[in-house]
Structure 1
Amino acid sequence: MDNSVESAGNDGAAMGELSAADAARLNDAKKQISQELGKVIVGQQEVIEEIMIGLFSRGHVLLEGVPGLAKTLMISTLARTMDLAFSRVQFTPDLMPADVTGTEIIEEDRSTGHRGFRFMEGPLFANIILADEINRTPPKTQASLLEAMQERQVTVGRTRHPLPNPFFVLATQNPIEQEGTYPLPEAQQDRFMFKVYVEYPSFDEEFEVARRTTGMETGDVQAVLNAEEIIRLQDLVRRVPVSDHVVRYALSLVRQTRVGDNGVPDFVNDLVGWGAGPRAVQFLILGGKARALLEGRFHVSIDDIQKLAKPVLRHRMVVNFAAESDGVTSDNVIDRIVAATPTTEDELSRDARFQKIFAS
């Protein structure tokens, strides 16, 4: 799997390879991108941070929110801060998979009269893809992104076409309660590293939005990173060490979402339909590495894992009908799981419930 996590032994070997300059490089990149985004986007700092964590972890991010919260503007502005090829696909009910991936066309060589097939690339062949309102197109077209997001390639006929590097999908979707939406299949959602909720702005933030967008003021955004620099920063994230205890803690959170397994809390068995798979652990650890470096640290902490638990897990676990009828969301269950999980190594190892989890 492309997003695999290094072993503890590899992390230990990599510890000596990182330097203060390495951490400063990613921290400076974060500040520069945030500064440029701030010229156009008001607030939404947590959303911006999670998008950057996804980018530097080689992950993809799904943003959900009601219309008008600047989701599309945020992504297109982020693309302008990077010297990368950017493509926007507006997902509509009549969009076909070939409209996204590309198609083979018959082309005639005028000099010889010979006819042959030529692949015409679709908008997917770019570094940053904005899949706008992805849940307004049927599942057949949604699935056209599956191979691209996981394998970073597109297969048309019998030919595989590699996608450019770096490759990053940022998708927006409207809440499924809205008219004209198609629920995103679980297999598709699992390809996204994070699912990020975009909330309404505060009064002061909305005041500033109203002031900026109704006057002559425009934000002149500059590119601060190119493809080579982004790939180098992504490689740095992979080299951040993570302790066995932090890995066990991440595993503890994920395995507690799996209904019927040994050691799973009763409230999970009562509220959850099914839980998260192995990708959740991988993305928790990779995200923790990126978050640590973005903050100028060389190690992943328990706090990093806790901060990323909701965006990583909320779309990988599904609450059952009884929970939905009581207004319980996956975020509520994640909060309870985090609260019920000891943070120290001694507590985890002594707790009988977690001994069952580790033994299963």
Structure 2
Amino acid sequence: MHSPSHVYPQAAQAFRHFFQELREAYLERETLFTQIELALLSREHVLVVGPPGTAKSAIASSVLGRIVDEKTGLPSLFAKQIAESTVQTDLIGPVDFKVLTETGRTEFITEDGMLGATHAFLDEVFDGRDMLLRSILNVLHERELKHGRRVTSGRIECAIMTSNRYLSEVLARSPELLLAFADRLSFISFVPKSFARRPSRAAMLHRFAFNLRPDLRANLTLQHLDVLQEAVERVTVSSHLLEAIEMLADELERALAAQVSKLPDYVPTKYFSQRSVVKALWALKAAVVRDQLYRRPDRPLEATVEDLDALRWFFLLGGPQAEEAELLLKVAVDPRERAQLEIVRIEQKAFDAALAKVRAELGTGVEREAASLGAAEDLKAVEALSRNFQPGIVSTTAQRLRTKLVPGPRHPDNRVALLGAARGLLAAVEQRVARGPIEGSEARPGLIVFSALADTLALCRLTPELRPRLGALCDSVARFIVQALEVMALNAESLAFDETVALESLIGLADNLAEELGRVGELLALLAEGRSGAVGWLRSSEVEARRRVVAALRQRATSAFPGTRGRRDPLDALAADSRRLAQLEQALCRLDPEQRGLKQELLQPLGFAYVRDVLSTTPFDRIDQLTRTVQSVAENLRREGLAPEPVFAECREILDTRLREYVSQLGREVASPPPAPQAAASGEAYNFYRGDFSNLVRDGELAALIGLDGQLAFARPPSASFFLSEAIHESVARVELSFVQTRLKYLRSWLTQLLSSLPAPQNIQSRATADQVFDRLVKSRFPLLTLKEGELVRIKGVLGQLTAMSGDLGESARKLENVLRGIDDDFSRFSRQLLELRASL
């Protein structure tokens, strides 16, 4: 929205008077004021460096402190002197403790910080810590504060930052920090220690001698700046000048880099990035408005080649003008001062040379751009397509033309040839789609054809001159897609008549069709922009084709998958088919997510065969060995993506049969001859019990069976108490009961023989005799078996499982508990009496 005609002249006059008054008050600061003016007009920031006593802070305060809001008469200014102790909240605003205490969230009152003001003055900015300075840069550049999920926008437009340090000092301390400043700030200025001209020094002394303070009365408001900033936004920059900005940035970067190689101590003060080139555009627009304000009030708001000279204040370190710099170098003593003045002089010369070269080359811009565009090659490629259509070349040509035409060449003459090539490409594509989807030896159009159509539609849609042809092109492509979808569905359905198609071929075909249908979906999205009315019909055709393709592929997969045969290892067969079916299911799921389960359906019969083979043939000597086999088989099924529940439910009878056979062999009667008196006391009875006897009496199988049944609980029928039959549980329990009875019979005989061979404790009269009896008891190793090895406790646990069973089995177990208790009581009573006797003698 443009300002009323009388407002702009008022704002222009106020701006001129404001800065003319400042220039009269602060002598030989022309460059700094120019950069500040450009910064205010373009809403950018200024960094001012130089030794103390050069009025940097006074100038910043005199500028920003006197730009007032006409509504309040007050400036919108945030001012802060930075120190090492300055923290983030000093700049962005204090923490809102009300929000913190009520919600636990940390928020800031940004209205009290620099985001809450239009202008900011940060004095001695490099005295802060690096992390603080980086946060300042981010806030000033983004004009917002990001804190967690919360983003707070600010009003800040222009900040002036000052420092008493030379740039060389900042660079030595933190080169990355200086580059960050140079990249985010549009204007950097150096203020020298002294004046170049004697009249300036004399005027300064005269003012101080007579206490003549600057009389600054000119009025400038935020509303005046708004009007002028709006004018900056209206400045037009031709493509010709946009190219010039890029050329100038590139040439200046090369020129300054060459100075680095010549002068090792020189470091450029501008970081050339894409961000800096964009900021240069706004600096140029601001320079156009400034020139209108001061020199040519009647000039149009359109940048010209002559305006490029003003970019020196953006690209270079601002400082004394060339003549003043030479005069200052003659009298400067401080090496840091001389170094900064040398930088100013070097960069000014480099800019002048770069600008002269750019101006000379701008005249040849049309020819240079034409050579880089290579439109003749595109025309040649399009002519070849009219004779021999190749979809790959269509895609690359369409992409290349789109890149060149959008946004387009800077010079309109170069657009004509490119448009000719693009129209020829559209004609070639229209001829191809008119011939239908099948051409040559291909069974269907294929991914490359759909990609070519998508790239052509994108070119037509994004190029304004081609857009009138978009509707007709969309219609012809839509007809082509409908035919192509029918061909794709028929192509898949023809597999029912081709018995040579293997599973691997189906996987590749499903992957290809999924990619092609996916590209068709992208094409439909493009067609929606040109012919939205046809999209519903096309999507219905695409859904129907996808349904037919999936049904045909699944049907053929079912008939083409016999399972792997001929391998000796059933697990190898299962793993190989699992991989192939997983690939096929994944490919089908790309076509239709509802196709999950195909692998399970086709692989399950092979899983049955694998489990039946393993469970029927794997030998085992103990039930816990069978348990490990079952666990391994279940894990293998899960690893291959098969649910083990139905497979093991199917194989339950196999496990029952194997266990019945095992129990029948296990349940034969084991002889339990009582040990001889000598063997009972010598330890031979212990060796027999732990050796040959235990090998024959394999108790613990009931616990192993319960563990196995628990392992198979996942396949247990809902109404059953066990997976394995109750008959198996009872058979194993009876064998276990028999073995426990045999053990107890042997232990009872052993203990009776042992105690019979030893004198009763009450008949022992001396310590020596007691020690002899004790040694003979230890030598028998019965205490070792019962106390240290806990054999009686172990048997008691087995009997506890057996007593829980119903019927005569449980009753028999309870009787054996009495036998066990008698053995334990007899041994405990004898050993306790013997130990008490030894202690008393």
Residues 88 and 80 (structure 1), Cα distance of their counterparts in 2 relative to 1, 3 Å cut: closer
- Tell me, yes or no, if structure 1 residue 304 matches structure 2 residue 307: yes
Question: Aligned partners of 1:247, 1:46: CA distance in 2, in Å?
Answer: 25
Q: Which residue, out of 74, 85, 88, partners 1:97?
A: 88
Asked whether the 8 Å contact 1:257–1:268 carries over to 2, the reply is no
The alpha-carbon deviation at position 350 of structure 1 amounts to: 5.2
Question: Aligned partners of 1:341, 1:137: CA distance in 2, in Å?
Answer: 40
Asked whether the 8 Å contact 2:77–2:119 carries over to 1, the reply is yes
Q: 1:315-340 CA distances to partner (integer Å, 9 max, x unpaired)?
A: 9xxxxxxxx9xx77555543442243
The alpha-carbon deviation at position 290 of structure 1 amounts to: 1.7
Residues 346 and 149 (structure 1), Cα distance of their counterparts in 2 relative to 1, 3 Å cut: same
Partner residue of 1:252?
Answer: 247
Q: How many residues align?
A: 324
The alpha-carbon deviation at position 82 of structure 1 amounts to: 0.9
The two structures have a TM-score, normalised by structure 1, of 0.75
Residue type at the aligned position of 1:290 = A
Question: Aligned partners of 1:269, 1:176: CA distance in 2, in Å?
Answer: 16
Q: 1:146-169 CA distances to partner (integer Å, 9 max, x unpaired)?
A: 2321221223454333222x5211
Asked whether the 8 Å contact 2:236–2:303 carries over to 1, the reply is yes
The alpha-carbon deviation at position 234 of structure 1 amounts to: 0.8
Asked whether the 8 Å contact 1:139–1:185 carries over to 2, the reply is no
Q: Which residue, out of 179, 184, 190, partners 1:191?
A: 184
Partner residue of 1:216?
Answer: 211
Question: Aligned partners of 1:300, 1:123: CA distance in 2, in Å?
Answer: 37
Question: Aligned partners of 1:265, 1:350: CA distance in 2, in Å?
Answer: 28
Q: 1:286-306 CA distances to partner (integer Å, 9 max, x unpaired)?
A: 222222222223222323222
Q: Which moved more, 1:211-220 or 1:52-61?
A: 211-220
- Tell me, yes or no, if structure 1 residue 233 matches structure 2 residue 235: no
Q: Residue 52 of structure 1: SS of its match in structure 2?
A: helix
Partner residue of 1:318?
Answer: none
1:25-44, aligned counterparts within 5 Å?
A: 25=10, 27-38=12-23, 40-44=25-29
The alpha-carbon deviation at position 238 of structure 1 amounts to: 0.9
Residue type at the aligned position of 1:305 = L
Partner residue of 1:243?
Answer: 238
- Tell me, yes or no, if structure 1 residue 283 matches structure 2 residue 279: yes
The two structures have a TM-score, normalised by structure 2, of 0.34
Q: Which moved more, 1:280-289 or 1:66-75?
A: 280-289
Structure 1: give runs of 5+ residues left out of the alignment: 1-13, 316-323
1:60-75, aligned counterparts within 5 Å?
A: 60-75=45-60
Residues 49 and 275 (structure 1), Cα distance of their counterparts in 2 relative to 1, 3 Å cut: closer
Structure 2: give runs of 5+ residues left out of the alignment: 69-74, 293-298, 319-338, 374-403, 410-841
Question: Aligned partners of 2:33, 2:60: CA distance in 1, in Å?
Answer: 9
Q: Residue 119 of structure 1: SS of its match in structure 2?
A: coil
Q: Which residue, out of 112, 129, 138, partners 1:147?
A: 138
The alpha-carbon deviation at position 46 of structure 1 amounts to: 2.5
The alpha-carbon deviation at position 139 of structure 1 amounts to: 1.3
Asked whether the 8 Å contact 1:253–1:338 carries over to 2, the reply is yes
Asked whether the 8 Å contact 1:283–1:312 carries over to 2, the reply is no
Residue type at the aligned position of 1:196 = S
Q: 1:112-140 CA distances to partner (integer Å, 9 max, x unpaired)?
A: x9687663445413222111121222211
Asked whether the 8 Å contact 2:11–2:224 carries over to 1, the reply is no
RMSD: 3.9
Q: Which structure has greater helix proportion?
A: 2
Q: Residue 340 of structure 1: SS of its match in structure 2?
A: helix
Asked whether the 8 Å contact 2:245–2:277 carries over to 1, the reply is yes
Question: Aligned partners of 1:26, 1:301: CA distance in 2, in Å?
Answer: 24
Question: Aligned partners of 1:108, 1:247: CA distance in 2, in Å?
Answer: 48
Q: Which structure has greater strand proportion?
A: 1
The alpha-carbon deviation at position 207 of structure 1 amounts to: 1.9
Q: Residue 363 of structure 2: SS of its match in structure 1?
A: helix
Partner residue of 1:106?
Answer: 97
Q: 1:17-66 CA distances to partner (integer Å, 9 max, x unpaired)?
A: 79986764554233121233246423312221221111111111111222
Residues 280 and 266 (structure 1), Cα distance of their counterparts in 2 relative to 1, 3 Å cut: closer
Partner residue of 1:45?
Answer: 30
Structure with greater Cα Rg: 2
Partner residue of 2:354?
Answer: 337
Question: Aligned partners of 1:168, 1:302: CA distance in 2, in Å?
Answer: 27
The alpha-carbon deviation at position 205 of structure 1 amounts to: 1.6
Asked whether the 8 Å contact 1:56–1:234 carries over to 2, the reply is yes
Residue type at the aligned position of 2:224 = E
Asked whether the 8 Å contact 1:88–1:123 carries over to 2, the reply is no
Residues 312 and 176 (structure 1), Cα distance of their counterparts in 2 relative to 1, 3 Å cut: closer
Question: Aligned partners of 2:223, 2:3: CA distance in 1, in Å?
Answer: 19
Asked whether the 8 Å contact 1:81–1:225 carries over to 2, the reply is yes
Asked whether the 8 Å contact 1:91–1:137 carries over to 2, the reply is yes
Asked whether the 8 Å contact 1:27–1:293 carries over to 2, the reply is no
Q: Which residue, out of 117, 125, 128, partners 1:126?
A: 117
Residues 227 and 22 (structure 1), Cα distance of their counterparts in 2 relative to 1, 3 Å cut: closer
1:82-93, aligned counterparts within 5 Å?
A: 82-83=67-68, 84-93=75-84
